[in-house]
Structure 1
C-alpha cells in the first residue's frame, strides 16, 4: 500500500515514522511545503526505499516563499514527484496573486522538465486549479489531494484525466464520500495527509490506510479484498508513469510497487 500524500518531515520524530513504514512495507510520497525543506526531507529516504520525496511549495506559503522558486528549479531534476502545490481559496485574499504566479511557474517548469507526478491542493479553489491544469497539459499526471470541489468541478477534473488521493479523514464526511462515489475507481489512490489529518480526535498515520480501503469497499459495494486489489492496481499504474516523466532518480516507487523491498 502506498500513501501518496504524507508530510513525513513535519512529524515530531520523522525518522521513527520512516523506520516503521519501511518495516511494514508501506510506500510513502513524502510531500514538502517549501523548496528549502527539500535537502533535509530527501535525506529521510536514505536506507528506506519505501520513501520517496516530492518537491513542493504550499499555496499558503506562496507569498512568504516565492523567492524559493529558483531552488525549486534547482531540485526538480532530482525527483519525479511534485507536491504539495496548488491554490488555497481559504487563504488571505492578498496572497491570491502570488499563489497563482507560483502555481503557473511550477506547472511551466514541470512541463519543461518533461512532466511530473503532481500532488495538488485545491481547497476552495478547484475551478482555478483546473483552469491552470488546462493551460499546462504537459505538466504531468495531476493527483488532486483531498478534493473538495463541486460535482461540476469533479466532472471537469475527470474529463481532464486527473487522479484523486483520498484518505480516512476525507471519507469520514458525507461530502467526501459523495464525491468519492462519483470518482473513477481506476484513478483513485490513498493518502493520509499525516500528521495533520484526523478522524474525530484521533490523528491518522500512513499505517491507518487500511481503514480507507474498507470504507471504499462499502462505497463501491464490493468485498474489501476486491477494493484492495483495485487500489493496488491503481498504484502500479500510477507508479509506472514515473518512467515517462522527467527525473534523474529511477528508484522511485514505480520501480518496486508496492513491496518496497529494494535497498539500492
Structure 2
C-alpha cells in the first residue's frame, strides 16, 4: 500500500502511527507544514525504512510563517521530497494569496536550483495559479497534485504538463471522480490518506481507509484490486528513481 500524503507528526501520538505504518508495510510520504517541523518529523522516520519525510510550508500558514523561507532553503538539500506546499484560494485565505504566490514561486525556484524535487502540492481553489507557477518553473521537479479539486480542464492541463496526482478516499467518492480519474494517465496516480485530517476516525493510522482507497480506484479503473495495486507499486518505483536522480544531481552540484 502507498500513502503519498500523510501528516505523521500531527497524529495524537506520532510514534504509534509510525509503528502502525511499519506493521502494515505501507510506503508513506510524511509531509510537514513548516520548515521548523521538518527536523523533528524526520526523526520519526528513523528505523522505518518505508517512511520518507518531506520539507513543507503549508499555504494556509504562509502569511504567518513566510519568514521561515530561508530555513526552508537551507534544509532543501536534506530531502528529495517537498510538501506540503502550494496555494490556497479558499475564503479564509484568499486575502493572503499574494504572499502565498510569492512564497510558492520562491520554493519552486529553489527546487530548480538544487536539481529538482518530488513535490506534494496543495491547490484548493487555486489550481489555475498553481499550474501557471509550475509552467514558469519547468525544472522544479515532479509535481504531485494532492487531493485535486479544481476543474477537470485544469487536471487535463496539468496532466499534459507531466503532473502526477495523489488521490484519497473522499476524493474518489465524489460524483465527478470517474471523470477526473479518466483524464489522468494511470502511471501518474498514487494513493493518499491526508491523515489525520481525513480518512481516519480514530487516533491510529487509517490502514483500512487506505485499503478502501485502492478498492475505490480499482472500481473506477474497471480492474481487480491486485492489478490496481501492481500499477500503483510500479508508479511508486518510477517516482523513487526520479527522487534518487534529483539527490544525485544535487550532490554533483
State TM-score, norm by structure 2.
Answer: 0.93
> How much has 1:151 moved relative to structure 2?
1.5
> How much has 1:182 moved relative to structure 2?
2.2
Q: What is residue 139 of structure 2 aligned with on the other side?
A: 138
Q: What is residue 246 of structure 2 aligned with on the other side?
A: 245
Q: What is residue 126 of structure 1 aligned with on the other side?
A: 127
Does the CA contact (< 8 Å) of 2:114 and 2:250 recur in 1?
Answer: no
> How much has 1:206 moved relative to structure 2?
4.7
Superposition pairs of residues 1-264 of structure 1, within 5 angstroms: 1-90=1-90, 91-198=92-199, 205-207=205-207, 208-246=209-247
CA offsets 1:176-227 (integer angstroms, 9 cap, x no match):
343123211111001110000148x678945231211111111111122111
Distance 1:55 1:48, change over 3 A: same
Q: What CA distance in whole angstroms lies between the structure 2 residues aligned with 1:145 and 1:21? A: 20
| Aligned residue pairs, count | 249
CA offsets 1:34-81 (integer angstroms, 9 cap, x no match):
001111101101111121100000001111000000110111100000
Distance 1:203 1:128, change over 3 A: farther
> How much has 1:92 moved relative to structure 2?
2.6
Distance 1:247 1:42, change over 3 A: farther
Distance 1:11 1:29, change over 3 A: same
Q: What CA distance in whole angstroms lies between the structure 2 residues aligned with 1:160 and 1:79? A: 24
Structural RMSD (CA): 1.9
Does the CA contact (< 8 Å) of 1:79 and 1:249 recur in 2?
Answer: no
Q: What CA distance in whole angstroms lies between the structure 2 residues aligned with 1:119 and 1:133? A: 12
Does the CA contact (< 8 Å) of 1:78 and 1:247 recur in 2?
Answer: no
> How much has 1:118 moved relative to structure 2?
0.1
State TM-score, norm by structure 1.
Answer: 0.89
Q: What CA distance in whole angstroms lies between the structure 2 residues aligned with 1:146 and 1:204? A: 21
Where does the alignment leave 5 or more consecutive residues of structure 1 unmatched? 251-264
Where does the alignment leave 5 or more consecutive residues of structure 2 unmatched? none
Q: What CA distance in whole angstroms lies between the structure 2 residues aligned with 1:197 and 1:134? A: 30
